[in-house]
Amino acid sequence: MEASLPEKLARAVDARRGETVRLLQEFVRVPSITGGEGPFARTVEWAFRETGLSVETFEATPEEVAPYLEHVGEQARYEGRPNVIGRRSGRGGGRSILLNAHIDTVEAGDPATWTHDPFAGAVEGGRVYGRGSCDMKGGLVTHIAALRALADARVELAGDVTVAATVGEEDGGLGALATVLRGYRADAALITEPTRLALVPAQGGSLVFRLTVRGRAVHAAVRGRGVSALEKFVPVFEGLRALEREREASLSHPLYEGIEDKAPLSVGLVRSGNWASTVPESLVAEGRIGLIPGEHLRDVKALVAARVAEIAGGDSWLREHPPELEWIGGQFAPSEVPRILPSPDRSRGPREGHGPCARGRGRPVRGRHAPLRPVRGMPCVMYGAGDVGWRTAPTST
């Protein structure tokens, strides 16, 4: 009996397993921290050509993204950061798909905290270790592996397949935005963010904020005459944590049932003081707050502003010197696409507890692919290997 198409494709994928692992290792070995994606983009271009795709590259320009800076944030640089587009044309008459993966990563941090060299691409226990292996060079490799398997199995597609390897996801989604603005569209989009092989039709949003708290500087020997901006920030921070707990208890959405950290609020950067023997006269804190589908950016901004004002109103110094709240960087609205999966009795996940089983949906993912969302005219889901909790961890696998 002739093998079915799924069987042919599975065999084609298995036949290239070693090659696929080696490709991911090569990808991990080329650092591509946000803003410095250029060298890795050239590696991606080579891999696309080796796969038989037609290839185009382009850099986003300040002029084309200027109307959207509120969403993607100010960029330190645009040049030397090419997006790489690969195409496989179909015979015509079929539906098209856009496959997306971002090529930038966050910093590796202290190498001593890693179990393996973050840029060695080590393999152990059936896993590839290194910065970006999970988020999301592994996802990019799956696009390449799938297209190579289709070619090996001699599968002719009716519709076009476009693979968009984009820059700047970690700080605003610059590449994804530029890709859409340049006219790269399809009937649907698939993003291989790490979702533990669950098909995810929703994406949480996020806002990045900056708080500046003022104090009064004096020498530490007479600290009582000054006002420590650090000490004045403490109640503000505690108030924001309380807001997070309140939102955690009150927010509700069918896809978020049983999920912790529905819309986390986190302060990730604090700068204060300029000398150990001086009471700090200012403190700058930057953080982010999450949103779930159905929430609006303006409402959450107002909520945070009201909480900061409430805290300031309870302190005599802060009443006279209220903290300054700014919204900086990318501003990402949450989104959700209508149910597109088969009914549950016809859906089978790759393994129990993952994939389109039960309700047919996975945990919403927090990413920065806003331009690919339904508002831009493309229904979009996420589906990928790896765990969202690993993606920026020192054990990224």
Q: How far apart are CA 247 and CA 204, in angstroms?
A: 14
Range of lowest pLDDT (53-67, 171-185, 239-253): 171-185
Which of helix, strand or coil describes residue 272? strand
- Do 314 and 341 lie in one domain? The reply is no
344, part of any domain? yes
Q: Which residue has the tokens 């859409």?
A: 180
The letter for the amino acid at 70 is E
Q: What pLDDT, in 10s, does the model give residues 161-184?
A: 999 999 999 888 899 999 999 999
Q: How far is CA 109 from CA 74, 104, 222, 321, in A?
A: 23, 15, 38, 36
- Do 94 and 239 lie in one domain? The reply is no
Query: How far is C-alpha 238 from the chain's CA centre?
Result: 27
Is the pTM higher than 0.85? The answer reads no
395, part of any domain? no
Q: How far apart are CA 371 and CA 203, in angstroms?
A: 12
Q: How far apart are CA 354 and CA 207, in angstroms?
A: 29
Instruction: Check: CB of residue 260 under 8 Å from CB of residue 290.
Output: no
397, part of any domain? no
Q: Which residues are catalytic?
A: 104, 169
380, part of any domain? yes
Q: Which CATH number do you get for residue 239?
A: 3.30.70.360
The token duo for 208 is: 């990045």
Q: Which residue has the tokens 């999970």?
A: 134
- Do 310 and 216 lie in one domain? The reply is yes
396, part of any domain? no
pLDDT at position 346:
33
358, part of any domain? yes
- Do 228 and 188 lie in one domain? The reply is no
The token duo for 235 is: 């109640």
pLDDT at 50 over 60: yes
**Helices 17-28 and 38-50: angle between axes, nearest 10 degrees:** 160
Q: How far apart are CA 81 and CA 76, in angstroms?
A: 11
pLDDT at 229 over 70: yes
Rounded to the nearest 10°, the torsion over CA 147, 150, 156, 157 is: -50
- Do 163 and 94 lie in one domain? The reply is yes
- Among residues 293, 314, 332, which one ends one of the domains? 332
Q: What pLDDT, in 10s, does the model give residues 359-388?
A: 344 556 555 555 555 445 688 889 999 887
Q: 3-state SS of the chain: helix, strand, coil percent to 5? A: 35, 20, 40
- Do 187 and 56 lie in one domain? The reply is yes
pLDDT at position 369:
53
- Do 165 and 269 lie in one domain? The reply is no
Which of helix, strand or coil describes residue 166? strand
Which band of pLDDT confidence, cut at 50, 70 and 90, is reported for residue 336?
Answer: confident
Which of helix, strand or coil describes residue 314? coil
- Torsions phi, psi of 332, nearest 5? -115, 115
Closest CA to 248 of 288, 210, 289, 285: 289
17, part of any domain? yes
Which band of pLDDT confidence, cut at 50, 70 and 90, is reported for residue 123?
Answer: very high
Q: How far apart are CA 367 and CA 373, in angstroms?
A: 11
Ranges of beta strands (E only) in 223-276 are 265-272
- Torsions phi, psi of 199, nearest 5? -80, 120
- Across the range 29-38, mean pLDDT stands at 96
183, part of any domain? yes
Structural domains of the chain, count? 2
pLDDT at position 353:
28
- Do 213 and 121 lie in one domain? The reply is no
- Among residues 332, 364, 381, which one ends one of the domains? 332
**Which domain range does residue 262 map to?**
205-332
- Do 371 and 318 lie in one domain? The reply is no
- Do 69 and 189 lie in one domain? The reply is yes
Q: Which residues pair with 363 in a beta bridge?
A: none
Between these two residues, 331 and 64, which has the higher pLDDT value? Answer: 64
- Among residues 332, 356, 371, which one ends one of the domains? 332
Q: How far apart are CA 333 and CA 297, in angstroms?
A: 6
Q: CA quadruple 360, 366, 367, 370: dihedral positive or negative?
A: positive
Q: What pLDDT, in 10s, does the model give residues 313-327?
A: 999 999 999 999 999
- Do 28 and 173 lie in one domain? The reply is yes
Q: How far apart are CA 134 and CA 153, in angstroms?
A: 27
Q: Which CATH number do you get for residue 157?
A: 3.40.630.10
- Do 284 and 354 lie in one domain? The reply is no
